[in-house]
Amino acid sequence: MFTQILDPTGNMFVTWLVALIPVVALLFMLAALRWSAWVATLVGSLVTLALGIWVWHMPVDEGLHAYAYGSLTGIWNVDWITFWGVMLFNTLVTTGTFEKLRSWLIAQGTQDVRVQTILFAWAFGALLEGLVGFGYPWAFVAPILIALGIPDLDAIRVAAIANNAPVSYGALGAPIIALAAVTGYPLLALSASISKIVAILALLPPWILLYLVSGRKGMLGAWPLAIVGSLAYIAGQLPVGTYLGPYLPDVAGALVCFVCLLLLLKVWRPAEVLGYGGKPVVGATAGKTEHGLSGGDIFQAWMPIGVLVIIVVAWTGPWSHLPAIVLMHMEVTAASSIAAGAKIVAIFNWTPFVGGSAILVSWIVVALLLRVNGQQLGEIWRKTWSQMWGACLVGVFIFGLAYVYNFSGMAASLAKAFSSLGTAFIIVAPILGFIGVALSGSNTSTNAMFGKFQALVGQILGFPPLLLPTVNSVGSEIGKPVAPQTASVGVSTTRFVRNEGDVIRHNFGWTLVLLVYLVLISVACYLFFPGIMKL
């Protein structure tokens, strides 16, 4: 068995610098050179493999096996989910179902910009993030807000800030699935711990959104929207994330939020209808507008969401044994350089009935119910493949990189160096997640890259096991509004195409506010509630 070397250069500071090379190289290629993510992760994974063999003396054959098992994990545990999730979304768009859903939702809101913002940016954005992710909530929500009178740049910022809280459960839980794969911690335990931090985080954004569109006076005049919007989302995401897993917390949170907001609007509406900037809308009424849809149209609009929820919950819930069926198991093991007697294992399990398979079945059922024809099917497939082939390659290469980084001992060496910060590392942990996603553009990639490292630092310092990986993932949520790759997708339906820099600068200030809020949550959790982060 290969035994990891903690300090292969003989100088811990030099070892620390060398261990940082894969991280710095990857971020440099993404942020400075602006290479495509799949190219950057391919080159970064090759650099990591070379350093593991040359500096950390990882055996070539075992290193290649670790890389292969990581790549297979990326394909089956992440790509398999995200691809069919986007197929489902594109099916709704191609058949016109998504437009019916959007029209119905718009009609439920009044002409008040605060109501529209919480309904569309907060609740509808969470639904899109839960189904697809990858910046698509910006791309679809921003044009709605622009059409409602919010200036382009401000509309994009509102869509981006609203998208913070749902990101860890985006694309049907892909980031948390990635985190579980690299840390070895139970998927449900990680989902539960992240859901608790997200629940606290979600208390703040609705207030910020109301302030951004209507100022301080408008925010205070619509306080029920902020309270119901945040608590209703939490009421949906927290129990699902805690007891069912990472696949549907965003979808559940969004649906509960929709229901509660619509019930609120039946008994309470803002006393004065305000437009953007808090200006009264002359002649506006507080009632909803007409959508022109029949009962059948409304049923068709919501039917795919219902099918997805029913199938995924039945398939992946704790009562189901399907996800636990393993038809192939491959692993390679190394002796840990940090904990005597401990092992670092690179594993690939082929479990044919994972969450991605449930989403595939959901897509098939929806396609049949919507009577998708051959021409539409071809269009859906071509569009999805065009959108996803690069992201799928990123899944292959970033997991290969992460597995080798962990297996070779590089992550352990880096963790040992950072552990010199002591308990102050609780402040650094969410900031690392923020920096990682701000440069890579992907919560999934950031969890794959830093998840094991965060777990090892926690192990050295005696933190509750789930705490640092959890705040890494939630820190990644907050960095999304300033991530170039996310912004590129998010502005694709606005006039800021290829002007992502303007958008990122406009988003930056409020993103820092949320980051400081998360650091405070992390410190409080460590000091006062460590029990909720234990296995």
The Cα 528–Cα 520 span in angstroms is: 12
Closest CA to 454 of 441, 443, 463, 445: 463
Element of type H or E holding 253: helix 249-267
CA separation for the pair 446, 470 (Å, rounded):
12
CA distance 229 to 220: 14
What does the pLDDT read at residue 521? 97
Neighbours of 348 (CB within 10 A): 25
**Direct distance between the N- and C-terminal alpha carbons of the chain, in angstroms, rounded to an integer:** 28
393: its two tokens: 């390659």
Contacts of 211 (CB under 8 A, 6+ apart): 218, 219
Each residue's pLDDT expressed in tens, for the chain with a length of 535 residues: 899 999 999 999 999 999 999 888 887 887 678 787 788 889 999 999 999 999 999 999 999 999 999 999 889 987 888 788 889 888 998 999 988 987 887 787 777 899 999 998 999 899 888 887 767 788 778 878 887 789 988 999 999 999 888 888 988 888 999 899 889 999 999 999 999 999 999 999 999 999 999 999 999 999 999 999 999 999 999 999 999 999 899 999 999 999 999 999 989 988 888 999 988 887 655 555 667 889 999 999 989 988 988 898 888 877 888 988 999 999 999 998 887 777 888 889 899 998 889 889 999 999 999 999 999 999 999 988 887 888 788 888 888 988 898 899 998 898 888 888 999 999 999 998 998 887 666 788 788 878 988 999 999 999 999 999 999 999 999 988 887 667 766 676 577 765 667 887 899 899 999 999 999 999 999 999 999 999 8
Tokens read off for 486: 């996310």
Q: Point out which residues pair with 328 in neighbouring strands.
A: 350
Task: With beta carbons less than 8 A apart as the criterion, state whether 89 and 131 touch.
Answer: yes
What is the pLDDT at residue 284? 58
pLDDT of residue 354: 83
Q: Which residue has the tokens 């999730």?
A: 85
Phi-psi region of 272 (alpha: psi -120 to 50; beta: other; left: phi over 0): beta
* Whole-angstrom distance, CA of residue 398 vs CA of residue 41: 6
Distance of CA 503 to the CA centre of its chain: 20
CB 41 within 8 A of CB 448: no
With CA atoms as reference, report the closest residue to 418 among 443, 452, 464, 447. Answer: 452
Instruction: Determine the pLDDT at residue 196.
Output: 96
Spatial distance between the Cα atoms of 68 and 346, rounded to a whole number of angstroms = 9
pTM score, whole prediction: 0.82
